[in-house]
Amino acid sequence: MAYGRKESRNFLSMVRSRRLKMPKKIGPLMIYPLLPKTNCGRCPPKVCMGFAVQLTDRSLSLEDCPPLFEEKKYEENLKKLRELLAPSVREVIIGSKEKQVKIGGKLVLRRHELRYSNPTTIAVLIDDGMKDEDISKWIDEVNSFRYRYVGMDLTLDMLAIRSTSKDQERFEKVIKKVADKTNLPMVLWAESSILERGLKVVEDRRPLIYAATKDNWGEIGAIALKYKCPLAIYSPNDIKMLKSLVNTLKSWGIEDFVLDIGAAFGKDIAATINNLTMMRISAIEEKDELLAYPLLGIPVRIWDEENGKSPELLSWEESCLASMMLIRYVDMLIIRRATFWSTLPLLILRNNIYNDPRKPVSVEPGLRVVGNPNEDSPVLVTSNFALTFYTVMGDIEKLDCYILVADSEGLSVESAIAGRKLTAEKIAEIIRFSKIEEKIKHRTIIIPGLAARLKGDIEDATKWDVLVGPRDSSMIQAFLKEKWYGKDHTPGWSYK
Amino acid sequence: MKEDKEKGMLKNLMELLDKYEELTLEGVSLSADELEINIKSSKALQGKIIREELGKTLLELGKALIKGGLAEAITPPTLTQIQSQIQQPLLPSKPLELKESDYKLPIKKYSGKIVEVTIGATKEEGGTRGKKVIVGGECMPAFHLFEGLQPYAPAIAGDVFDMPISLPKPVKECFGDALQDPVEWSKLLVEKVGVDLIDLELISTDPYIKDTPVSEAVKLVEKVLQTVKVPIIVGGSGNPDKDAQLLPKVAEVCEGERVVLSSATLDMWEPVALAAKKHNHVILAWTSIDLNQAKELNRKLLQYVPLNQILIDPTSAALGYGFEYAFTIMERIRLAAIMGDNELQCPQISGTANAWGAREAWIKDPRLGPREFRGPLWETIGALAYLLAGIDIFIMLHPAAIRTVKDVIGWLMGGKNPETFSQWLGVGG
């Protein structure tokens, strides 16, 4: 879909200055009066005020206070608490009880304000006009997509089935095929006249219906209502129309909407990015109820006007557009295909952006073997802060050595030493625990330059010699060349 | 005849509904070829409950018809069909007209503004650059174009090293022999790739690498300045002792050219600040993913130079390797600046080429797909995300990544950039 030049400038001409309206911040003092105030001790902090604080930062939820649910007298307060703590963006569930995705449920605009909830769901598109064997292949690709990253598996979440054949029977057949091969939640993308027959096949899986537009909202709305399915609203570059559609269909009794304002990679990307940004700000900071729904990004649209571009180039562009939409708040994406090279960066971006900014990311403490070290090889120590760890690993991967990852409680070397999380005792502990002494002849450990001040303490605690390494791990190679191997090449030293 | 009969029956049914509001059919069998329902406006039919009940009843009726095999050709009427037949006055709670809604743009007023930083000086200004690069001047979050205009396009600097270093294969393939010669490499970046600046990294000056003498290193800087006409960034090796000698000398030989001296750190900032002040250059203030450190360093530098001689480099992590920390610090620095924190109101610069530190970008692994696409895409996506966090200058490596980011910036700025980058990827189109 492409916006005309005129439309793409619409949002600029609409600019009207307005007084700053900040969202009401929920504080513990707003929550506390509604709690039982008995300090019964059944929640982790044991006291109601502590519980109120943890409700505020969402580290606990209302379910952690059993009396609220057990005793009838709290019913009214529970209702008020639920309203108070409701996310600014509605959480919409797509899929069956057994296999579902939750999208939206957002609490804040920017991740540092608290954290993002419900990582952007990624669906892969299947056209019913495709050949059967291709459909099978694509489903298999989605099912088998897996990448191991910082201790977890990155996978794809959904399948979207689009009617391009404009044939009810074919649409139904493809839906059946997909349903047989996978239990992933689905999006059904079709005209109202095509949709229903296929929808019936997977009615119990509660698929997302795509989409009500200004032209078909009556028929599509009626189907969504009948089958109680979440409904996508598509209103390219027209937020007013989008809101009108939500407003109307909401009055019909439909509750779960997902909003698609369009996607363009090209000069209209300014409109795409700004529309998404405006909608999310309106929902979170201005409490615009008609926009308080998950946002859907469909970068796959760029394939519809491929203009003779190669599939690689289209995958490239799609991945770029999807990434920008992911940064600008979309809760769900539909992409063309589970092509590894173009999909992996998207999944890693999602993982990174949805990390809880309050929790440092850490790796398991312990021994790591790099290359093919022998009994003369150097032993280096670093922290278990994931960023530090992976940076160090990247810098030394061409060497043969041992790395001891000390438990710095997920902090970087500098912060861990300042905060006494990385101490001589911790290093002595990892030397014992790793049984490194059985693997090497020497007793010399190389510590990060930023840990220089621990040298004496470590020597006392371990009886090892301590060599203070460079301040940045990019210098390790040069450092070892000079300080470990000297002028002579010791056995075990190799540039691979 | 049959049809009339059915109609009549339904009519009766409706009349009954009118009267009793509820109706149970028992032992009834119906057969029909086509069901056409006309319902007149009726008081008893007003209201949502009855409407839904009616819908259900009719659906059940339809289903029963099929189930019973009495009329195979009949499909049960859907709510859509019912709705299209039932006229509006009947269903006041289900409007068939759009309920029009208004939308007001969520515009805020920000008290702060990023300063404008000029890099490079033309002949009139005492330099020899063909053009200068101006960045900054924003007073809204990154590309909130509904809240304000982006005064200057973010710029891209091409990364050039003064000695052959280990570079990923996809990058090597793009530049070929030019990688052996920083002057040729710079030329190629400016002429073929279209970068706005050159970032010349004098890494060979590092005592642990080649320990190139300062006098020799600055000769290369002069040579690059003579060859390309874009503004330049000159980077030391990162060795604080050597940089403290190198960067003041660079500042001296670049007098009048308003280059960026890279970098001042909390370990080594004063010689750079002094040199920038004396020779009117810009400082790249580098800290490691820490907003407070960025503030602290700026506070020190501000004793010597004004804000418009500083670029903040808050560190750019590779996607997958601490990316989110960098992203959030950039976003917070931008927000703090426009909210009025005048110690952070400098444009931000990103060493986006760090993306290649991610093994997923360069590792040879058939499962991950062709690395000639994967690598530059890794760099591109990192850059696009940082663009939306508030970066004004990107230091980049791969031509396809540079082209894409340049295109996106062009589109966001409302300009056109029809040139394609695909030749650098070899995918055509």
Q: How far is B6 from chain A (nearest CA, A)?
A: 25
Cβ contact (<8 Å) for A323 and B384?
yes
In terms of CA atoms, which chain A residue is nearest residue B332?
A112
pLDDT at B70: 42
pLDDT tens-place string over residues A101-128: 999 999 999 999 988 999 999 999 999 9
- Residue A194 tokens, joined: 């095509």
- Other CB atoms within a 10 A radius of the CB of residue A372 amount to 11
Cβ contact (<8 Å) for A226 and B79?
yes
Cβ contact (<8 Å) for A273 and B428?
no
Categorize the per-residue pLDDT at B238 as very low, low, confident or very high, splitting at 50, 70 and 90.
confident
Q: Which of B75, B92, B109 is the last residue of a domain?
A: B92
Do B53 and B178 have their domain in common?
A: no
Given a cut of 70, whether residue B415 has pLDDT beyond it is no
Contact residues, chain A, for B324 at CB < 8 Å: 111, 352-353, 355, 357
Does B19 reside within a domain? no
Q: How far apart are CA B398 and CA B412, in angstroms?
A: 21
Assess B20–A contact: CB distance below 8 Å, yes or no. Answer: no
Strand-strand pairing, A152-154 and A147-149: antiparallel
Do B50 and B150 have their domain in common?
A: no
Does B161 reside within a domain? yes
Task: Please list, residue by residue across B405-424, b when 16 or more beta carbons sit within 10 angstroms of its beta carbon and e when fewer do.
Answer: bbbbbbbbbbeebeebbbeb
Does B21 reside within a domain? no
Do B213 and B257 have their domain in common?
A: yes
Categorize the per-residue pLDDT at B30 as very low, low, confident or very high, splitting at 50, 70 and 90.
low
Cβ contact (<8 Å) for A342 and B369?
yes
Do B184 and B81 have their domain in common?
A: no
The minimal CB distance from B102 to the residues A214, A240, A268 is found for: A240
Assess A85–B contact: CB distance below 8 Å, yes or no. Answer: no
In total, how many domains does chain B have?
2
Contact residues, chain B, for A270 at CB < 8 Å: 143, 145, 411-412, 414
Do B77 and B122 have their domain in common?
A: no
Do B189 and B330 have their domain in common?
A: yes
Cβ contact (<8 Å) for B94 and A251?
yes
Contact residues, chain B, for A315 at CB < 8 Å: 373
Task: Compute the average pLDDT of residues B24-52.
Answer: 52
Contact residues, chain B, for A319 at CB < 8 Å: 377, 381
- A186 vs B322, more confident: A186
Do B148 and B75 have their domain in common?
A: no
Categorize the per-residue pLDDT at B379 as very low, low, confident or very high, splitting at 50, 70 and 90.
very high
pLDDT at A7: 33
**Are residues A256 and A221 in contact, defined by beta-carbon separation less than 8 angstroms?**
no
Residue B358 phi/psi, 5° resolution?
A: -75, 130
Do B82 and B126 have their domain in common?
A: no
Q: What pTM, to 2 d.p., does this model score?
A: 0.79
Q: How far apart are CA A152 and CA A155, in angstroms?
A: 10
Assess A248–B contact: CB distance below 8 Å, yes or no. Answer: yes
The minimal CB distance from B106 to the residues A12, A278, A352 is found for: A278
The minimal CB distance from A281 to the residues B95, B106, B373 is found for: B106
Assess A340–B contact: CB distance below 8 Å, yes or no. Answer: yes
pLDDT at A393: 85
Residues of chain A short of pLDDT 50, as ranges, are 1-23, 487-496
CB contacts under 8 A, B 199-218 vs A, are: 206, 208-209
Does B295 reside within a domain? yes
Does B343 reside within a domain? yes
CATH code of the domain covering residue B209:
3.20.20.20
Q: How far is B153 from chain A (nearest CA, A)?
A: 13
Does B31 reside within a domain? no
The minimal CB distance from B324 to the residues A320, A353, A479 is found for: A353
ipTM of the complex: 0.79
Q: Which of B49, B75, B92 is the last residue of a domain?
A: B92
Domains identified in chain A and CATH numbers:
24-85 (1.10.15.40), 91-354 (3.20.20.20), 366-485 (3.40.50.11600)
Nearest CA to A176 out of A214, A128, A117 is that of A128
Task: Please list, residue by residue across B32-45, b when 16 or more beta carbons sit within 10 angstroms of its beta carbon and e when fewer do.
Answer: beebebebeeeeeb
Do B257 and B389 have their domain in common?
A: yes
* Burial of residue A340, with CB atoms counted within 10 A of its CB: 0-12 exposed, 13-18 middle, 19 or more buried: middle
**Is the torsion defined by CA of B15, B17, B20, B23 positive or negative?**
positive
Do B254 and B356 have their domain in common?
A: yes
Do B88 and B166 have their domain in common?
A: no
**Are residues B387 and B405 in contact, defined by beta-carbon separation less than 8 angstroms?**
yes
Do B274 and B353 have their domain in common?
A: yes
Q: What is the CA radius of gyration of chain A?
A: 28
Domain carrying residue B51: 38-92
Does B4 reside within a domain? no
Does B319 reside within a domain? yes
Q: How far is A228 from chain B (nearest CA, A)?
A: 13
**Are residues A320 and A125 in contact, defined by beta-carbon separation less than 8 angstroms?**
no
Contact residues, chain A, for B363 at CB < 8 Å: none
